[in-house]
Structure formats: C-alpha cells, structure tokens
Amino acid sequence: MDTSNPAVFVNAELLRLYVGPRVRAVIQVLRSDGGVVTGQSTDDNQILVKGSPPSPLSKFVEVVGIADSEKSIHAEIWTNFGDTFETHTYNQLCQLANGEFKHLFL
Amino acid sequence: MFSSSQFESNSAFSGGGFTFSHQSQPSDSDPSPAKSRETQGLVPVTVKQISEASQSGDEKSTFVINGVDVANVTLVGMVFDKLGRNTDVGFNLDDGTGRIGCRRWINENFDTIEMEKILDGMYVRVNGHLKSFKGVKQVVAFSVRPVTNFDEVAFHFIDCIHNHLQSKSQLQGVTPIQPQSVDMSFNTPVKNESTGYQTAPSTQLSGQFSSDGLKSCDQLVLDYLQQPSSIGQEKGIHRDELSQHLKLPVDKIMYSIRALEEEGLIYSTIDEFHYKSTACG
C-alpha cells in the first residue's frame, strides 16, 4: 500500500497553491487544439491542460497530473467524465478536501 | 445465487455485508443508542484513512478508523496493474489519496464475468473486507463495479467526510451541536449532497438526528402534549397524530413515549395509543 503520491483535488483557485505536486481536477472542455485543452474549472476560471487527450473528449474531463504553473496542468491521466457533472458539488469537495478535512486525503 | 460461500451470495446484491448494511445504514432509527456502532455495514473510506488505521489485536481482528471498528469498506478509485490468475484477480486501487492492493477471489462464473469488465484505468467502486497480510493492508473485495456516473466519485469522498464527522461526534458521546440544528450544520459542509445522491445521505442524516437527538425527540413529544389544545382533549392524543404532526417515525415516537411515561410526565388514557401530559393546563 502506498500513500506517497497522492493527487490533490483542485479547482483553479487551489491550483495556484499546488504548483509542483500531483493534482487532479475536473474541467469542462471549452477548446481543444493541438496538445492543449482549454477548460473551465469547477470554480469558473480557465485552466490550460497539456498532454494528449483521448478522443473523443466528453464535455467534462478529469485530469490527473503535475501543475506546471498557476493556471496549467501537465496531465498524465485523462478520464472522460461524461456530459453531465455536478461542478458545484465537486467544487465544494475541493474546498473541503484541502481545508478542514485535509487529513483524510493527504 | 444462493451459494454456500459466505461472500459470494452477498455479491449478487452488490451491497456487501448485506445483513449488516441493511440494519445499520437505512434504519438508523433503531432504538438502540448508537454509542458503539458494531454492525456498521460498508464504511466509506479513503486509502489514506486505511493507511492510518490501527489494528485492535492480532491479524484476524478488525481495524479501527476514527475510533470505530471497521471491517467492511467501500472505496472508489482507479484500477491499475490488474492481474488475473486462476483463483483470484488482484489489482491496485488508486483513489487519489493513495494506492491499496485489492484481491477478488474467483469462485463462480459471476465473479469472472464481473472482473472481466474491469480494465486498467477504469474508475470502479470496490466493496470489500479490510485485511492485513504480513503487515500489509489490503482489501478482499466481494464486489467490484465500474463507475458510470462520475458524480459517484465526488459523492464517495463527501460520504467519507460525512462518515468521519459522524464517528467523531459519536466518539464524544454527546453531539456538540444541538440536535434540531444537526440538519443545518451538516448542510453547510455537505450542502450539495442532496443534488447528487439524495436517498443515501438524507437517510443517514435523519439517522443521525434520531440516534443522537433522543432527548430532543422526547422534548418535542412532551411539548406537543403540553399544549393547551392537547390538554383540552380528554382522551389524549393518538400517537399517529404525534408522528404526523412532528414528522417523526412512529417507532421514535413510541420510544419517547415510553421514556416520558417512565418519568411520570405522561400517561396513557383510553388505550395504549392515546397519551396525555400529567401537567395540568
């Protein structure tokens, strides 16, 4: 069992705090060109995701990777989350998982 | 479906620990005070929580998470390194907080069919038994189901937080918050649980209310019976009316009635269903 490489739940605001370690975020795909996907985070800010997205890409995608800047993630794993997703719920989860209940996750 | 091996019959219901979860999770309003939750059912946990769990006793005993004995757990995560063998299928589950080894014993066709659908990189829900083998914790799964609606992922982590809060408040014996407002305070951190999966969390919430708010339920019943309109009624108030008016299940009302009767605060009138307050108007 291994807890050495956790991925932190982030939205755009939390991404700023976690540049460097592994993060995970769910984004709504706005644009996809080349190897860069522009997405809207669960707190309605834009995030760039670099990597090789799967095709077809569904409306919501979870990406797990390394945050290489305050606004972008270099994704290693892409998971299509479908076309319906509760962004508000996920956003609240990000806040809880990094706040009061951080010890359950990291 | 009705095989003799203990876990396989449960996998058909894919709820795992079938008898336990049916008793303890939906009907938390059992009159037994929820001081020690022995019949827990499936506890939602993160791998991080498991890694921090201590073991009470030797290898065969249960684990302690949040101060509560935990035997069966439910996890949601991504499958990695799936390895199928003759007798079992092993894989690692990564839920973002860590990775844990899981194993699914293959006893019947059903097991093979279920595991064949699971591929690396897929999000799954694993229901299983926590075990320790040579100091390494792992999960012996009796149900592995692919996740199709990804709100389930968000829900699972919120469920872990909720369960953590519930165990913490029970450990303290008394709820630190007023029972009437337990809905409010649970609503603030997990406000959006209701948009996702309404049935399970709200049942747990009402369970919390009834198991920890026994005193306030008594108070509600007593208050209602002490109203001038109730005192005015010679034959007392029927317990169904109490249940309807206070919006509480009948068995909770009965429990409160018994408690109040013992205290000498109410008495039964024409039959065992009608009660009046002993206080004079």
pLDDT at B30 over 70: no
| B96 reaches A (C-beta below 8 A) | yes
| A24 reaches B (C-beta below 8 A) | yes
| B101 reaches A (C-beta below 8 A) | yes
With respect to residue A83, please indicate whether it lies within any of the assigned structural domains: yes
With respect to residue A1, please indicate whether it lies within any of the assigned structural domains: no
Residues contacting A17, CB < 8 A, separation 6+: A98
- Say what the pTM is: 0.60
Residue A26, domain extent: 8-98
Residue B185 sits at φ, ψ, to 5 deg, of -70, -30
Chain A CB contacts of B151 below 8 Å = 84-86, 89
Residue for token pair 């008594």: B218
Residues 39-98 of A with CB under 8 A from B: 60, 62, 64, 77, 79, 81-82, 84-86, 88-90, 92-93, 96-97
pLDDT at A56: 83
Domains: count for chain A: 1
With respect to residue A105, please indicate whether it lies within any of the assigned structural domains: no
Identify the CATH number of the domain in which residue A72 sits: 2.40.50.140
A56: cis peptide before it, omega within 30°?
yes
At residue A20, what is the residue type?
Answer: G
What are the percentages of helix, strand and coil residues in chain B, rounded to 5? 40, 25, 35
pLDDT at B75: 93
Which value does ipTM take for this structure? 0.87
pLDDT tens per residue across span B90-137 = 999 999 888 999 999 888 888 888 888 888 888 999 999 988 888 888
Are residues A93 and B99, on separate chains, in Cβ contact within 8 Å? Answer: no
CA distances to A18, B70, B110, B129 from B144, rounded to whole Å, are 32, 19, 11, 12
The continuous run of DSSP H or E covering B83 comes out as strand B72-84
CA distance B230 to chain A (A): 44
pLDDT tens per residue across span B33-67 = 444 445 568 889 999 888 888 776 655 667 888 77
The partner residue sitting opposite A1, judged by closest CB among B136, B151, B193, is: B136
Enter the tokens of residue B93.
């589950």
pLDDT at B250: 81
With 0-12 / 13-18 / 19 or more C-beta atoms within 10 angstroms meaning exposed / middle / buried, residue B87 is exposed
Residues 6-45 of B with CB under 8 A from A: none
With respect to residue A56, please indicate whether it lies within any of the assigned structural domains: yes
How far apart CA B239 and CA B187 sit, in angstroms, is 30
